[in-house]
Chain A
Amino acid sequence: MSTPKDERDEYQLPGTLGRREFLKIAGGGIVIAVSMGDFELSAQEGRRGGASYPEDFNAYLLIGADGKVTGYTGKIEMGQGAISSLPQLIADELDVRYETVDMVMGDTDLCPYDMGTFGSLTIRMFGPALRAAAAEARAVLIELAAEKLKVPAADLAVKDGVVFEKAKPSNKVSYGELAGGKKIERHIKPKPPVKDVSQWQVMGKPFFHKDAAAKVTGKALYAGDIRLPGMLYAKVLRPPAMGAKIKTLDTAAAEKIAGIRVVRDGELVAALHELPDVAASALALVKAEFDIPASKLDDENIFDHLLSVAPEARNVASGGDLKEGESLAANIFEETYLNGYVAHAPMEPHTAIADVKGDKATVWASTQGPFRVKEEVAQAAGIPAAGVHVIMPFVGGGFGGKTRNIQATQAARLSKIAGRPVQVAWSREDEFFNDSFRPAAVVKIRSGTDKNGKIVFWDYNVYFAGERSSAQFYAIPHHRTLSRGEWGGGGGAGTHPFAVGAWRAPGSNTNVFARESHIDIMAAKAGMDPLDFRMKNLTDERMKQVLKAAADKFGWTAAPLPSRRGTAIVCADYNGTYIATAAKVSVDRRSGGIQVERVVCAQDMGQCVNPQGATIQIEGCITMGLGYSLTEEMHFKGNEIRDLNFDSYELPRFSWLPKIETVLVRNDALPASGGGEPAIINMGAVVANALFDATGARLRRLPLTPKRVKAALAAMEK
């Protein structure tokens, strides 16, 4: 039999390194100054800020004798494109060609600590640390060159990694010759400044996915593609409902299959075999009875339940006096908005392979947080964290769901028991069942307008979505925003029937849906155009400019709501990134189906490092956002999840696609804010408002399923 196994060294990890070359580096004993004890780790978790990254540039950069630059980052690559944009920061600050910079991502032995890849924070929070490191390295290299060339540093310049005398360019030395792949002991205090945006050469220019060639050839390695000698594949028993406990277990039939080993460690039961499909067949023969905790909750009564268990409110923002505001109101609006549980559903289910040997473990995991995996695996396997090495393959989508790493701890426990490397790759059903869903949430808004269509008061109460993007930004004299619970839970045991967590732009999707729906309800009552109504109630010039950019691109013309054109325009602030989205929909009144025909999104993210990457993220957000707007919600009864695969849990498809247009509103006056999430947060609101504009039907609950749309249309006809 001829097998292509010997070609596997061509397979690639994040970065452009081949596997063989990467392993050479990883095993080559290169000294990198990352000395971070547990104390520092926990302090960083507490601070959650960019200031916590290491200050030694050696933690971020290695300049090889050949002049090639390797950047080290604790961030991971899951499709968001950090692999392409981070080298821009290094190349620009260091004055080397983009092509000579490669990244090693998320390797816990090689890379500086990072809390995880989420929250659109890579460029916003990690970017400044990386740029500062590269800028200092450049200054040190110039100092070294000054000594070597016997020329004052002020008389030197750098181009493409070569330092030369300005007056005599032939007097030169390359970074490679200066650094030689060794750690540089010198530092510069105070640290040199990073480049002003006006000096950017590489940043601000469009760069395509660096990993595209590896991904179109199938050579990009994901966690499930890692092969270790002697490895076993584990299939883990999934209980029938959340919280179910094993009552009886019969593994006899499964264990009759040759080569099968069934392992039980508490509630963790798995079939292990040298072939994953045989492990799955064996698992199907495991007979188990469970005690299932009783629950009366389902996807309809969950909202009343959440209101009843809500903890005390936190004041997110307030100003003026609500009572006084109410006295000024000619019209008062009181509405409740609902949003169901939504799954992350990355195309790659959670996967990990762990090799636990004594008090050491090597782990490859599909995760957004390799340094968390390090801690969690250490705990699960009962070994010191210092002995755990997490290596990051490419991640097949995360969206917040891969901040939880249960699969990695399962693999570690099973590897420890089996004494061999064990891969745990969840099935799609496992993936849905074990997900940490975007929480179901309720928003109650009470507001008022005066007779001129000015909003005079705003009383906003969000339950369990979280507070992100909840604070309103209109010029409202009397307002209050209260938040109860959060996207990670926050209501005590029994609040949610299953795990909840961060889902792309956590909190914001629900908050913007509620706020911007409510704004249109007020605009309709005032007989106004939704854009005019917003402009009238905004004094934030930056927001007005973003709205105008979207409106101009869309070709917006004013008409009172509902115009029967099926158009809408909404705006939002996501952690400092401003976005405005205009859309047009058509509604099939017979089926209740909504087709989103066109979406225009304008985004002001401050300085933009990679316009190509930013554009792609906006497009992706718009497309993904169609799902939670139109179909996605988790159905459940008691603790039993009803949607376990893509037959009933419907993701956006090609036929749903609107024409998508994007505008990057240039704003070099502000530092770079995030771009991975913002554009998704307008989608629920813009589609719901466009539905109203098309039909006059107002839905206050997402998703806008055909059934709900039909029912709303039928109710209007009565």
Chain B
Amino acid sequence: MNQTIPFTLNGKSVSLSVDGERKLLWVLRTDLGLTGTKFGCGEGFCAACTVLVDGEAVRSCQYPVKNAAGKSVLTIEGLAQNGKLHPLQEAFVKHDALQCGFCTPGMILVAYEFLKKNPKPTEKDVREALEGNLCRCGAHTRIIQAVLDAAGTR
């Protein structure tokens, strides 16, 4: 059942020979060794596993890897460029917008997609954008401030 699936991962070409029905989350974490993408619930309820496929935030625990063929996948590991943190990552650090950090990659990637589409959001916009992301530690207020700061609308 293996098929060849070429795609771009964090700016580099990869080509995998895998069962295309396998979920992108596990291919990233196991086959590709990129463990920044987290498993939280396995049903798409928590958004910890969010990655971007052609700029769209997807729940990688629900996303068959064959659907990524020919597309561009961005994970949390690909966000910093040349060792320099992305402004969203910088804002999360500056605002101390995390505790255990397990939901953080998903938070940042959902916020990344959101800010691409809504560069000047209000606080209410940010809350709505992140509504599907769960955080158990309760870092929410700081996450909102970090996203607004990254957008320059804080």
Contact = CB atoms under 8 A, between A and B. Distances in A.
A277 interface: yes
A653 B143 CA distance: 12
A79 B99 contact: yes
A216 B46 contact: no
A600 to B, nearest CB: 13
Given A78-B100, A218-B37, A394-B100, A623 B42 contact: no
Contact of B41 (A81, A215, A646): A646
B136 interface: yes
A216 B99 contact: no
A221 interface: yes
Interface in B133-151: 133-144
A80 B139 CA distance: 11
A428 B43 contact: yes
B136 A212 contact: no
A208 B139 contact: no
Contact of B100 (A2, A346, A427): A346
B147 to A, nearest CB: 10
Contacts of A11: 35
A78 B101 CA distance: 9
Nearest to B43: A645
A275 interface: yes
Contact of A1 (B15, B35, B138, B141): B15
A653 to B, nearest CB: 6
Majority secondary structure of chain B interface residues (helix, strand, loop or mixed): loop
A425 interface: yes
B136 A651 contact: yes
A2 B35 CA distance: 16
A4 B144 CA distance: 32
B101 A220 contact: yes
Given A217-B85, A347-B103, A624-B136, A212 B41 contact: no
Contacts of B42: 427-429, 645
Interface in A1-49: 1-5, 8, 11
Interface in A311-356: 345-349
Given A218-B76, A220-B101, A651-B134, A657 B141 contact: yes
Interface residues of B, number: 63
Given A1-B16, A647-B43, A619 B141 contact: yes
B100 A224 contact: no
A655 interface: yes
A225 B22 CA distance: 19
Contact of A397 (B76, B105, B131, B137): B137
B36 interface: yes
A353 to B, nearest CB: 12
A620 interface: yes
B63 interface: no
Nearest to B94: A208
A394 B104 CA distance: 13
Contacts of A612: 96
B47 to A, nearest CB: 10
B82 interface: no
Contacts of B41: 428, 645-646
A616 interface: yes
Contact of B39 (A224, A645, A660): A224
Contacts of A218: 34-37, 75-77, 105
A706 interface: no
A275 B33 contact: no
B30 A275 contact: yes
A596 interface: no
A661 B106 CA distance: 26
Contact of A347 (B77, B85, B100): B100
Contact of B35 (A212, A224, A277, A427): A224
Nearest to B6: A1
B48 interface: yes
Interface in B104-124: 104-105, 108
Interface string A276-291: 1110000000000000
B36 A396 contact: no
Contact of A348 (B10, B34, B45, B100): B100
15 contacts: A2-B12, A3-B14, A11-B35, A211-B101, A217-B79, A217-B85, A218-B37, A277-B30, A347-B134, A394-B101, A623-B138, A646-B46, A652-B138, A654-B131, A655-B131
Given A2-B13, A395-B100, 4 more contacts: A80-B99, A216-B89, A218-B105, A428-B43
Interface of A: 1-5, 8, 11, 78-81, 208-209, 211-222, 224-225, 227, 233, 275-278, 345-349, 394-397, 399, 425, 427-429, 612, 616, 619-624, 645-647, 651-655, 657, 660
Interface of B: 10, 12-16, 22-23, 26, 29-43, 45-46, 48, 75-77, 79-80, 85, 89, 92-93, 96, 98-105, 108, 126-128, 130-131, 133-144
Closest 9 CB pairs of A and B: A218-B36, A79-B100, A623-B138, A396-B102, A215-B101, A79-B99, A620-B138, A218-B76, A225-B35
